Amino acid sequence: MSKEELTELIVNGENSEVEFKEDNIRPEQLAKEIVAFANGYGGRIILGVDDNGMVIGIKKQNLEEWVMDTVCGHYVHPLLIPKYEEMQWNKKNRVAIVSVLAGTAKPYVVRTKNREDIYIRIGSISKLATREQIVRLSATGGLMHLETMPISGTNFNNLDLARLENYFQFILAEANFPKTQAEWELRLEDMGFMQKSEVQGYVCTIAGLVLFGITPRRYLRQAGIRIEVFNTLEKNYNALLDVVLDGPMVARFNISQAGFSEIIDEGLVEKTARTLYPFITAESDKIDKGFRRSIKHYYPWAVIRELVLNALAHRDWSRSADIEICCYSDRFEVISPGSLPNSMTVEKMIAGRRTPRNNIIMEVLRDYQYVDARGMGIRNKVIPLMKQFNGTEPYFEATDDYLRTVIYNKGAIIDPENDPNIFQEGLNYDPKRRYFDPNKTLYDPNKLEIDLNKVQNDPNKPEFDPNMSISDRILYLIKNNPKISYKEMAEITGKSIPTIKRSINKLKAEGLIKRSGSPRGGKWILAKDENS
Helix (H) or strand (E) holding 476: helix 470-480
**Same structural domain for residues 49 and 114?**
yes
Please determine, for residue 240, whether its predicted confidence score (pLDDT) is greater than 70: yes
Residue 333 or 52, more confident? 333
Q: According to the model, what pLDDT value does residue 462 have?
A: 59
DSSP structure class, residue 51: T
Mean pLDDT to the nearest integer, 339-357: 79
Say if 436 falls within a structural domain. no
* Same domain, residue pair 233 and 211: no
Domain membership flag for residue 50: yes
Asked, for residue 438, whether it belongs to a domain, the answer is no
CATH code, 371: 3.30.565.60
Provide the strand spans (E) within 399-474: 402-408
d(CA 357, CA 313): 8
Q: Which of 168-172, 180-184, 191-195, 257-261 has the lowest mean pLDDT?
A: 257-261
User: Residue 113 falls within a domain, yes or no?
Assistant: yes
pLDDT at residue number 453: 45
User: Does the pLDDT at position 211 exceed 80?
Assistant: yes
Both 271 and 391 in one domain: the answer is yes
* 314 and 234 fall within a common domain: yes
Q: Are residues 160 and 112 in the same domain?
A: no
On the question of pLDDT at 431 being above 50, the answer is no
Q: Out of 250-259, 415-424, 459-468, pick the least confident.
A: 415-424
Which of residues 123, 140, 157 is at a domain's end? 140
Paired with 236 in beta bridges are none
Q: Is 380 exposed, middle or buried (0-12, 13-18, 19+ CB in 10 A)?
A: middle
Asked whether residue 108 falls in the same domain as residue 34, the answer is yes
- Name the residue among 72, 132, 127 with its Cα closest to residue 103: 72
Of the candidates 247, 265, 246, which has an alpha carbon nearest to the alpha carbon of residue 170? 265
Of 68-82, 219-233, 238-252, 431-445, least confident by mean pLDDT is 431-445
Compute CA distances 319 → 221, 314, 338, 380, whole Å.
10, 12, 6, 29
| Closest to 168 measured CA to CA, from 105, 124, 230, 212 | 212
Residues 378 and 236 placed together within one structural domain of the fold: yes
Q: Residue 29: in which H helix or E strand, if any?
A: helix 27-39
pLDDT-derived band at 519, boundaries 50, 70, 90: low
Whether residue 205 lies inside any domain: the answer is yes
How far is 281 from 259, CA to CA, in rounded Å? 31
Surface-to-core class of residue 171, CB atoms within 10 Å of its CB (0-12 exposed, 13-18 middle, 19+ buried): middle
Question: How many Å apart are CA 171 and CA 162, to the nearest integer?
Answer: 13
| 350 vs 204 pLDDT, higher one | 204
Using the predicted structure, report yes or no on whether residue 180 has a pLDDT greater than 60: yes
Provide the mean pLDDT of the chain: 81
∠ CA 97-100-102, rounded to 5°: 160
Q: What pLDDT band is residue 87 in, cutting at 50, 70 and 90?
A: very high
pTM for this prediction: 0.60
Q: Taking the CA atoms of the chain, what radius of gyration do you get in angstroms?
A: 30
- The domain of 490 spans 452-531
Q: Pick from 347, 377, 408: which residue ends a domain?
A: 408
Q: What is the pLDDT of residue 124?
A: 86
| DSSP H helical ranges for 50-96 | 63-65, 73-74
Are 95 and 239 in a shared domain? no
What is the rounded CA–CA span in Å between residue 32 and residue 29? 5
- Three-point CA angle 221, 223, 229, nearest 5°: 100
Q: Is residue 233 part of a domain?
A: yes
CATH code of the domain containing 462? 1.10.10.10
pLDDT of residue 365: 92
| 329 in any annotated domain | yes
- Measured distance CA(223)–CA(268) in Å, rounded: 10
Where is pLDDT greater, at 157 or 418? 157
User: Nearest to residue 100, comparing CAs of 123, 68, 122, 132?
Assistant: 68
Q: Do residues 193 and 207 lie in contact, with contact meaning Cβ atoms separated by under 8 Å? A: yes
**In terms of domains, do 151 and 136 share one?**
no
440 within some domain? no
Lowest pLDDT segment from 115-119, 447-451, 501-505:
447-451
Share of the chain above pLDDT 70, in %: 82
Beta strands 18-21; 43-47: pairing state = parallel
pLDDT in tens, 131-170: 777 777 776 665 557 888 888 889 999 999 999 999 998 8
Q: What is the average per-residue pLDDT within 396-407?
A: 90
pLDDT of 30 above 50:
yes
The domain total for the chain is 4
For 48-68, the pLDDT digits (tens) are 999 888 999 999 989 999 999
Mean pLDDT across 385-408: 90
Q: What is the pLDDT of residue 439?
A: 37
Share of the chain above pLDDT 90, in %: 37
- Residue 325 pLDDT level (bands cut at 50, 70, 90): very high
Domain boundary among 105, 140, 175: 140
Helix (H) or strand (E) holding 47: strand 43-47
**CA-wise closest residue to 120 among 112, 135, 264:** 135
Looking at the predicted structure, is the pLDDT value of residue 461 above 60? no
Give the Cβ contact number of residue 202 at 10 Å. 19
User: Do the beta carbons of residue 476 and residue 450 sit within 8 Å?
Assistant: yes
pLDDT tops 70 at residue 102: yes
d(C-alpha 88, C-alpha 57), whole Å = 9
Same domain, 214 and 276: no
- In this structure, the answer to whether residues 373 and 291 fall within a common structural domain is yes
Pair (105, 153) in one structural domain: no
CATH number of residue 135's parent domain: 3.30.950.30
